[in-house]
Amino acid sequence: MFKRKIKKILIRGTNWIGDAVLTLPAVNAVRKRFPDAEISILVKPWVAELFESSPDIDKIIIYDDKKYSRLCGKRKLISDLKKHKFDMAILFQNAFEAAFITYFAGIPVRYGYNTDGRGMLLTHKIALSDETLKKHQVWYYLDLLRPLGITIKKPELSLKIGNKDKAAASNILKKNRIKKDDLIIGINPGASYGPAKRWFPDRYAKLAEMLIERCSAKIILFGSKDDKEVAAEIASLSSHKLINLAGKTSLSEAIALIERSRLFITNDSGLMHIAAALNVPVIAIFGSTSPERTGPYGKGHHIIYKNAECSPCLKRECPTDFKCMDLISVDEVYNDVEATLAVAQHGGSRKGFPYKKITTPAVFLDRDGTICHETPNYLRDINQLRLIPKAADAIRLINKNNIKAVVITNQSAVARGYITEKKLKRINDALSERLKKKNAIINGVYYCPHHPDVGNDLYKKDCDCRKPKPGLIKRAADELSIDIKKSYMIGDKITDIQLAKEAGMKGILVLTGYGKKDYDIIKKDGLKSPAYIAIDIYDAVKWILRDKNKSAKKRF
């Protein structure tokens, strides 16, 4: 398709947080189409944090309005982009300026929709069809990529969160005396587009009171600096204490906090799309905008929308009586909240309210030597990834029995400088994707990038997450609602068996990878034997299912 090899790609990102979230499947599709390319994204500062932990993006270039304003600033931006020597630009932003800048930056392949009179500046101008405009906005960006040979049947939103932001979220919750078993419900009362998209503050306050009194919920108010006033009003109207974090966190911290929420109640906004991308159930209140195009994408969400004769008007401010929002009562929203929590936590039954946390068992899996083959000098490239025979069959068995499959892996190759965390995440994502194609689902991948003796200040540390220490197990249990005592650990090393003992669960040693060598050491040194010695991961899972059945019979 292209006369030259595409080694360096520039993506011009969108300027609004919600739009940027909806580009994530398209960004991931570009990464899969060009797996070896260096991909940079040009975005405004307030959007940049969305991509900081993305394994699909190698570099973030900040479009600073102060630095690049006016004509002289545009010349400076063009000059800065020239230094990168990009081979191709993909323009998710539709503005004329996006094409103008990449044209004069000398990027030989410029790819975008033929909108805003910019067709003459594009080498590949894509016509925008009426069919695309009728679909959800996530398809707007994916359809742009079709001429590149990229077709996605079922796009999925996925948002990565860095360990630093997860730790910051934990500290914020701790300071506000929120425990890990508490029912956290996020409320986002703002909307940057304008007040026509906002449900009334007094109704949000009343809803918060009902959730606290009936469900023992902990309510967190989210929003930007522009939402501080409306959030403060809601907090003042409530007879109970609400945790008002509007304008008090970075976007990354807000994302990590939303992930910890059991439910997110929101107007049509950027944070609504963030919650959806984190698979947090969303109750979305719509008024002046269309939920068909910009509603929360994915399953498990509920939209409350009254089809008033004047809506969707797409206006920033209501010129009449705000009927579209006035028709939405507090009781209606509360009932939807209760029903959504029931589906998420009780399989559809409302029996059990007030809220009770449900935990499930898991099989924790080592990665290299257990699921995929060991690679000399560490697995550093996706092309080296090879599944151990019957690994997918084993994980399908775990899924079939309603047990979570979670990868726990030491990756000191990061500390040693052999691989970056971003590249490691790509490999982990590729492993999950390869298994998913075989209908085997990994519920989470947790890794330790540290080593106590090597690396820089960031990675050289005696951490609590390096096996056999149980830090990763505890984190996975907290985030995925896992009952550790009913769980198992499968691995090919002594450290995996020691980890199982530390965490209080049974450990199974597989004879793949380093298994045979470490089993000889166990026998020679008189170490405590694993609960079972398995030929491979499939044999290990079969034993776990037999063991669980025995335990169930004993209880009865």
* Burial of residue 127, with CB atoms counted within 10 A of its CB: 0-12 exposed, 13-18 middle, 19 or more buried: exposed
Q: Assess contact for 219 and 208: CB atoms under 8 A.
A: yes
Rounded to 5 degrees, φ, ψ at 288 are -85, -10
Q: Which token pair is 117?
A: 């009179």
Q: What is the CA radius of gyration of the chain?
A: 25
Q: Pick the catalytic residue from 56, 368, 518, 539.
A: 368
- Three-class SS string for 299-318? CCCEEEECCCCCCCCCCCCC
- At 396 the three-state DSSP class reads helix
Q: Assess contact for 406 and 365: CB atoms under 8 A.
A: yes
Q: Assess contact for 155 and 25: CB atoms under 8 A.
A: yes
Q: Distances in Å between the alpha carbon of 42 and those of 68, 119, 138, 397?
A: 12, 20, 19, 43
Q: Distances in Å between the alpha carbon of 302 and those of 74, 153, 291, 313, 505?
A: 43, 23, 10, 21, 38
- Helix and strand tally (H, E) in the chain? 21, 18
Closest CA to 54 of 159, 147, 136: 159
CA 443 – CA 108 distance, rounded (Å)? 41
Rounded to 5 degrees, φ, ψ at 213 are -75, -35
| Sequence-ordered strand ranges (E) for 475-530 | 488-491, 506-510
DSSP 59-74: EEEE--TTTS-HHHHH
- At 427 the three-state DSSP class reads helix
64 is catalytic: no
CA 39 – CA 29 distance, rounded (Å)? 12
Residue 520: other Cβ atoms inside 10 A: 10
Give the count of alpha carbons within 13 A of 533, CB side only: 13
Closest CA to 266 of 553, 18, 10, 539: 18
Q: Pick the catalytic residue from 87, 366, 492, 536.
A: 366
DSSP element (H, E) containing 231: helix 228-237
321 is catalytic: no
The single-letter code of the amino acid at 299 is K
Q: Assess contact for 30 and 11: CB atoms under 8 A.
A: yes
CA 469 – CA 473 distance, rounded (Å)? 9
Enumerate the active-site residues.
Answer: 366, 368
